[in-house]
């Protein structure tokens, strides 16, 4: 036999055909027996044979039709067993068959015909003995005229012969049921209490039924496997929190998993048949088209995707997943996208990036501020000295005034930059926002074009907030200035509202960063041109501006954002192209109602000839401070090198009444110098100044007993007041 013939002989389809032929041969043998009887000259025997074979064929046909229509395994095996008992005249029969449950575990089950199930309930499963083994292994038929006398029977370990209580069996017939692939599916077992009941015809009939049963059982197993698979698939789909969508090549939604309701707020029926682009963010549509294109070009290859879709309640969701082209798979015929809601993760990443930018800017600001404040201190201090040296009405007064204005603007710019790195330095107190906001608007009114109207609506029940009034001024003025620029040279309105608002978890995106509770909300709306989506993404980025060069620093909104975060609030923006923009500022209600105390005027700062040791690494600052303090009545010894100052102090420590040192100096920091000075003289009073102070610097200064650090460029005024207050306290303690 050649290779092709061998292949066809073992092919499952050929095996199925062979089994059907076996059934036909069994039927043919029955008719041949009837013909042989007729030819023997016995008409009555012929009639009986024909009737018997007619009945056999009718039962076989009914059984075949029933098996072809039946896919339930339990009913199927019962049909086969009942037919076998009827056809061969058995007293009872059993069909032992293999099956697999949903977990993949295999079991040997059985069904009975002609006997109650209890008749076999107490007996163990038949073992692989000489009688039962060939049937379960699918190797051969076992027929015995009297099983009780068969030498192959009764060799089991538990029983020698028929077990007690067993149905009386003498005639025995067992036929294996084998799949088209020659895999054992089970066995048909028949018995009768009388000997010699079963013959070759019985074998042929049961072989025919077994062939039909094998095909039917195999089909039932396939259906069972598909059913189990569908159940597992459905359990995975319906129990999965991720969304699963199937679309066609034209983006029409063919299928959505039930989890889409939890993710997007829509039911499956609301979206199936809809174009998948309908709820996609306009900015992401080109990206989604590109994802589909790449999936179509690469069948079976997962394509990563990150895009936005609108929730049923109107908010935008960030979705992440993979799209796989399975259009070629007959079971799917679509592009399958597995996705999940990653909105919170994306927002956290955006917040982290913004925080990193702020941190980087704060580090940069600290370095710039230290040197820049030294320069400003020298400018502003010398301006003060120059003004004192000029006679009233001197022509140079105007120039000095302009220099002072420029220095003041530079000081304000540095302060705005430092808002990133040290927002916690704000001086907060319980405030009525309506008063502070109105003050800021009054200041702004003179700077705004006359065609822009400012309208206010302040709710009377707005709670007090714990805030820094200067920083509130700054935020309001920055946003109002931007609103005026958005309106431009046209007539327009700026509306400022203050209302109480109770923030809950369901409030939405505008307050997603807030803890639940009572807040005061300042809403500033304009009738300007609105903000483009591309600009909106970067609106709070430091140094980002859409204004022409020289008309904006790009710090206004980023500073406002930093201030609101420092106040444990947030800032949100809503805009419509051509219709204007609304900024909302959320301030948490003050938990404590404190009464603000009025500050008294600064006392006189004149000294009484006290000796001051002053150290700063900037020559200009040492010269300026020396001149200023000497005019206030102090004796000053100035140094630009910490080691030289320490040497001088070590040589004559009792000659100095106080030490004033800068914080950041090369070679030796201010704190290192303080420790060295205290080792020489523990009771020496020390003050510290710096152009940039970090929170940890204030903490360390407190640990050294230095009190607050005087921030440049305010050293000229504050240092004089600090020295006066310190010496006044020392004199009081000694008296």
Which of 240-249, 415-424, 434-443 is the least confident region? 415-424
Dihedral in degrees, nearest 10, Cα atoms 480, 483, 484, 487:
-160
**Beta strands 611-615 and 635-639: pairing type?**
parallel
pLDDT at 367 over 80: no
- Which residue from 336, 271, 264, 259 is spatially nearest to 303, judged by alpha carbons? 336
Token code pair at residue 403: 């220099």
Sequential DSSP letters for 129-187? -TTTHHHHHTS--EEES-GGG-TTSS--SS-SSSPTTPPP--EEEEEEEE-TTS-EEEE
- Which residue from 85, 88, 67 is spatially nearest to 77, judged by alpha carbons? 67
Instruction: Compute the distance between CA of residue 282 and CA of residue 308 in angstroms, rounded to an integer.
Output: 9
Token code pair at residue 681: 């003289």
User: If you search the block for the tokens 């003179």, which residue do you land on?
Assistant: 446
* Phi, psi dihedral angles at 420 (to 5 degrees): -70, -45
The DSSP output letter for 280 is: B
Which of 40-44, 310-314, 365-369, 676-680 is the least confident region? 40-44
Confidence category of residue 358, pLDDT binned at 50, 70, 90: low
- Which residue from 555, 544, 563 is spatially nearest to 468, judged by alpha carbons? 563
Higher pLDDT among residues 681 and 258, named by residue: 681
Residues in the chain: 735
Helix, strand, coil percent values for the chain (each to nearest 5): 45, 20, 35
What pLDDT shows up at residue 604? 47
Q: What is the mean pLDDT of residues 554-566?
A: 74
Instruction: Compute the distance between CA of residue 37 and CA of residue 406 in angstroms, rounded to an integer.
Output: 132
Pick the CATH number of 240-341 from 3.40.50.970, 3.30.450.20, 3.50.50.60, 3.30.470.10: 3.30.450.20
What pLDDT shows up at residue 597? 41
- Which residue from 412, 436, 714 is spatially nearest to 555, judged by alpha carbons? 412
Strand, helix or coil for residue 18: helix
pLDDT at 673 over 90: yes
Contacts of 107 (CB under 8 A, 6+ apart): 98, 99, 100, 101
Residue 81 contacts residue 112 (beta carbons within 8 Å): yes
Please indicate whether the domains covering 11-227 and 240-341 agree at the CATH topology level: yes
Residue 155 contacts residue 129 (beta carbons within 8 Å): yes
Instruction: Compute the distance between CA of residue 718 and CA of residue 605 in angstroms, rounded to an integer.
Output: 9
Residue 178 contacts residue 140 (beta carbons within 8 Å): no
Domain parsing of the chain, residue ranges = 11-227, 240-341, 352-415, 423-588, 611-734
CATH 3.40.50.2300 is the classification of domain 611-734 = yes
Contacts of 289 (CB under 8 A, 6+ apart): 277
pLDDT at 243 over 90: no
pLDDT digits (tens, 9 = 90+) for 271-308: 889 998 888 998 899 999 999 999 999 999 999 999 99
Q: What is the mean pLDDT of residues 455-471?
A: 88
Q: At what angle do helices 73-88 and 200-239 cross, to 10 degrees?
A: 170
User: If you search the block for the tokens 């029955």, which residue do you land on?
Assistant: 30
Which of 132-146, 216-230, 589-603 is the least confident region? 589-603
Residue 420 contacts residue 540 (beta carbons within 8 Å): no
- Which residue from 630, 596, 658 is spatially nearest to 464, judged by alpha carbons? 596
Higher pLDDT among residues 606 and 524, named by residue: 524
Q: How many helices (H) and strands (E) does the chain have?
A: 21, 22
Other C-beta atoms lying within 10 Å of the C-beta of residue 426? 17
Q: Residue 204 to residues 15, 213, 470: CA-CA distances in angstroms?
A: 17, 14, 105
- CATH number corresponding to 11-227: 3.30.450.40
345-362 b/e (C-beta count within 10 Å ≥ 16 → b)? ebeeeeeeebeebbeebb
**Beta strands 517-526 and 429-431: pairing type?**
unpaired
Strand, helix or coil for residue 342: coil
pLDDT digits (tens, 9 = 90+) for 147-204: 888 888 766 555 556 677 778 889 999 999 888 788 888 889 999 999 999 998 888 8
Instruction: Compute the distance between CA of residue 84 and CA of residue 189 in angstroms, rounded to an integer.
Output: 9
Residue 211 contacts residue 185 (beta carbons within 8 Å): no
Residue 687 contacts residue 658 (beta carbons within 8 Å): yes
Does an H or E element contain 560, and which? helix 556-566
**Beta strands 184-192 and 92-100: pairing type?**
antiparallel
Which residues on neighbouring strands pair with residue 337, listed in sequence order? 245, 323
Residue 74 contacts residue 224 (beta carbons within 8 Å): no
Q: What is the mean pLDDT of residues 560-589?
A: 86
Instruction: Compute the distance between CA of residue 686 and CA of residue 659 in angstroms, rounded to an integer.
Output: 5
User: If you search the block for the tokens 């820049």, which residue do you land on?
Assistant: 372
Residue 390 contacts residue 396 (beta carbons within 8 Å): yes
**Beta strands 635-639 and 658-662: pairing type?**
unpaired
Q: What is the mean pLDDT of residues 457-472?
A: 87
Which residues on neighbouring strands pair with residue 98, listed in sequence order? 108
The DSSP output letter for 274 is: S
Token code pair at residue 407: 């220095």
Sequential DSSP letters for 26-68? HHHHHHHHHHHHHHTT-HHHHHHHHHHHHHHHHHHHHHHHHHH
Residue 692 contacts residue 366 (beta carbons within 8 Å): yes
User: If you search the block for the tokens 């197993």, which residue do you land on?
Assistant: 221
Other C-beta atoms lying within 10 Å of the C-beta of residue 252? 15
Confidence category of residue 408, pLDDT binned at 50, 70, 90: confident
pLDDT at 606 over 70: yes
Contacts of 247 (CB under 8 A, 6+ apart): 253, 254, 276, 292, 334, 335, 337
The DSSP output letter for 432 is: -
Instruction: Compute the distance between CA of residue 475 and CA of residue 560 in angstroms, rounded to an integer.
Output: 5
Handedness of CA 530, 536, 539, 543 (dihedral sign): negative
Strand, helix or coil for residue 95: strand
Q: What is the mean pLDDT of residues 107-135?
A: 75
Phi-psi region of 632 (alpha: psi -120 to 50; beta: other; left: phi over 0): alpha
Which CATH class, in words, describes the domain spanning 423-588? alpha beta
Q: What is the mean pLDDT of the chain?
A: 79
pLDDT at 655 over 90: yes
Strand, helix or coil for residue 293: helix
What pLDDT shows up at residue 601? 42
């Amino acid at each position: 036999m050649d290779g092709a013939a061998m292949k066809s002989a073992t092919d499952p389809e050929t095996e199925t055909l062979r089994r059907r032929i076996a059934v036909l041969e069994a039927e043919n043998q029955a008719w041949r027996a009837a013909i042989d009887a007729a030819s023997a000259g016995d008409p009555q025997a012929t009639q009986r044979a024909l009737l018997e074979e007619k009945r056999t064929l009718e039962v076989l046909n009914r059984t075949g039709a029933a098996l072809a229509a039946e896919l339930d395994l339990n009913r199927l095996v019962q049909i086969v067993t009942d037919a076998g008992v009827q056809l061969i005249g058995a007293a009872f029969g059993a069909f032992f068959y293999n099956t697999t449950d949903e977990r993949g575990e295999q079991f040997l089950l059985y069904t009975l015909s002609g006997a109650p199930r209890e008749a076999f309930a107490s007996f163990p499963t038949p073992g692989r003995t000489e009688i039962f083994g060939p049937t379960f292994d699918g190797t051969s038929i076992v027929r015995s005229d009297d099983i009780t006398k068969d030498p192959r029977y009764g060799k089991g370990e538990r029983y020698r012969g028929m077990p007690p209580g067993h149905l009386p069996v003498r005639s025995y017939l067992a036929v294996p049921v084998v799949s088209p692939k020659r895999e054992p599916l089970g066995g048909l077992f028949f018995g009768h209490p009388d000997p010699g009941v079963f013959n070759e015809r019985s074998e042929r009939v049961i072989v025919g039924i077994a062939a039909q049963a094998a095909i039917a059982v195999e089909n039932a197993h396939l259906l069972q496997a598909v059913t189990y698979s569908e159940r597992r698939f459905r359990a995975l789909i319906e129990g999965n929190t991720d969304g699963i969508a199937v679309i066609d090549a034209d983006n029409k939604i063919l299928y959505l998993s039930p989890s889409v309701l939890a993710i997007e707020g829509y039911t499956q029926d609301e979206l199936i048949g809809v174009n998948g682009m309908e709820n996609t963010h306009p900015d992401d549509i080109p990206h989604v088209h590109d994802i589909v294109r790449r999936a179509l070009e690469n069948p079976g290859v997962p394509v990563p995707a990150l895009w936005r879709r609108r929730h049923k309640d109107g908010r935008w969701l960030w979705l992440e997943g993979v799209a796989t082209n399975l259009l070629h798979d007959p079971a799917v015929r679509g592009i399958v996208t597995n996705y999940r809601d990653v909105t919170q993760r994306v927002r956290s990443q955006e917040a982290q990036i913004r925080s990193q930018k702020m941190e980087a800017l704060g580090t940069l600001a600290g370095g710039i501020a230290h040197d820049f404040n030294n320069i400003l201190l020298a400018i502003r201090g010398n301006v003060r000295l120059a003004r004192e040296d000029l006679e009233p009405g001197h022509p140079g007064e105007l120039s000095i005034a302009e220099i002072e204005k420029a220095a003041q603007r530079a000081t304000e710019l540095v302060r705005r930059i430092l808002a990133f790195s040290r927002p916690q330095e704000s001086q907060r107190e319980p405030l009525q926002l309506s008063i502070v906001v109105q003050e800021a608007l009054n200041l702004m009114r003179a700077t705004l074009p006359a065609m822009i109207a400012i309208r206010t609506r302040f709710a009377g029940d707005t709670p007090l907030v714990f805030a820094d009034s200067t920083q509130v001024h700054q935020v309001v003025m920055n946003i109002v200035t931007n609103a005026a620029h958005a309106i431009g040279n046209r007539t327009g309105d700026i509306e400022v509202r203050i209302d109480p608002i109770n923030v809950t978890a369901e409030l939405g995106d505008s307050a997603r960063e807030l803890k639940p509770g009572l807040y005061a909300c300042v809403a500033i709306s304009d009738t300007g041109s609105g903000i483009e989506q591309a600009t909106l993404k970067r609106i709070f980025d430091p140094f980002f501006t859409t204004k022409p060069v020289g008309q904006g620093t790009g710090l206004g909104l980023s500073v406002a954002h930093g201030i609101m975060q420092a106040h444990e609030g947030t800032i949100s923006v809503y805009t419509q192209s051509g219709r204007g923009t609304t900024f909302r500022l959320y301030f948490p209600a003050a938990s404590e109602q404190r009464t603000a105390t009025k500050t008294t005027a600064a006392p006189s700062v004149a000294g009484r000839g006290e000796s001051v040791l002053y150290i700063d690494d900037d020559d200009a600052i040492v010269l300026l401070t020396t001149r200023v303090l000497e005019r206030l009545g102090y004796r000053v010894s100035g140094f630009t090198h910490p080691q030289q100052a320490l040497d001088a102090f070590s040589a004559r420590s009792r000659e100095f009444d106080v030490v004033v040192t800068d914080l950041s100096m090369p070679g030796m920091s201010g704190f290192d110098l303080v420790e060295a000075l205290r080792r020489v003289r523990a009771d020496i009073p020390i003050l510290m100044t710096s152009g940039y102070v970090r929170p940890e610097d204030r903490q360390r200064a407190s640990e050294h007993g230095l009190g607050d650090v005087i921030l440049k460029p305010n050293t000229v005024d504050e240092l004089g007041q600090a020295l006066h207050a310190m010496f006044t306290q020392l004199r009081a303690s000694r008296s």
